[in-house]
Chains A and B, each alone.
Chain A
Amino acid sequence: DAKTTQPNSMESNEEEPVHLPCNHSTISGTDYIHWYRQLPSQGPEYVIHGLTSNVNNRMASLAIAEDRKSSTLILHRATLRDAAVYYCILSEFSGGYNKLIFGAGTRLAVHP
């Protein structure tokens, strides 16, 4: 599985937008880009995924570079509940599942 590079930590103020970057220069044509987050003392939670086009859902937006070598998770208005570790993961859909290989992620702190 291709590797991703994320900043170790980021900070934001409540109600401001947050842009979480992810570099994946060795991405293959069949790799999906997934974002999961893990709140303190909880299991990971799916946020969003994409393949080539930008994606929006109720939680966030995913902006994918045209060459797919990087992507950005966008939280439009951060809340205190968004403080978590955010994982950017690449994997292909093969054999009926996506094998998720988690890295260290980005620890997001949200200040009131």
Chain B
Amino acid sequence: NAGVMQNPRHLVRRRGQEARLRCSPMKGHSHVYWYRQLPEEGLKFMVYLQKENIIDESGMPKERFSAEFPKEGPSILRIQQVVRGDSAAYFCASSPWTSGRAYNEQFFGPGTRLTVL
């Protein structure tokens, strides 16, 4: 059973370019979360999605950032017109459908390390 997969693992972009980060959740998981980790800091929650729906985007910057989790295919975190301050590790996590459960463990991927030159 493959874990959460993220690609690319490393991404280099120049200022002003777009970055697309992909996350394939674990098989059977319908919930996806994105987190950002700046150097030497803890993870910051960005967004929580279920298939075709954004449930909680309270941690997403208001501009340039967007996320989607389509019916088919991976979840995408898109950063437009990247700036140096976007350089960070971006982690995706997934969890299963929670019907009947009182707790939902999150399984994290290995992350995408974005470097903006």
Contact = CB atoms under 8 A, between A and B. Distances in A.
Interface stretch (B14-22, B71-79, B80-88, B90-98): B90-98
Interface residues of A, number: 21
B102 A93 contact: yes
Label chain A's interface by main secondary structure.
loop
Contacts of A32: 103
A87 B55 CA distance: 24
16 contacts: A32-B103, A38-B43, A42-B110, A43-B91, A43-B108, A43-B110, A44-B43, A44-B93, A46-B107, A49-B103, A87-B42, A96-B98, A97-B33, A100-B43, A101-B45, A105-B42
Contacts of A104: 41-42
A93 B101 CA distance: 10
A100 B104 CA distance: 11
A15 interface: no
Contacts of A97: 31, 33, 48, 55, 95, 98, 104
Contacts of A103: 42
B103 A93 contact: yes
B91 to A, nearest CB: 5
A93 B95 CA distance: 13
Contacts, number: 57
Contact of A43 (B48, B93, B98, B102): B93
Nearest to B113: A41
Given A99-B56, A102-B43, A44 B108 contact: yes
The interface centre, meaning the residue of A38, A95, A97 with most chain B CB atoms within 10 A of its CB, is A97
Interface string A15-32: 000000000000000001
A56 interface: no
B55 to A, nearest CB: 7
Given A44-B93, A45-B108, A46-B106, 20 more contacts: A38-B43, A43-B91, A43-B93, A44-B43, A46-B105, A49-B105, A93-B102, A93-B103, A96-B31, A96-B98, A96-B104, A97-B31, A97-B33, A97-B98, A97-B104, A100-B43, A100-B45, A100-B106, A104-B41, A105-B42
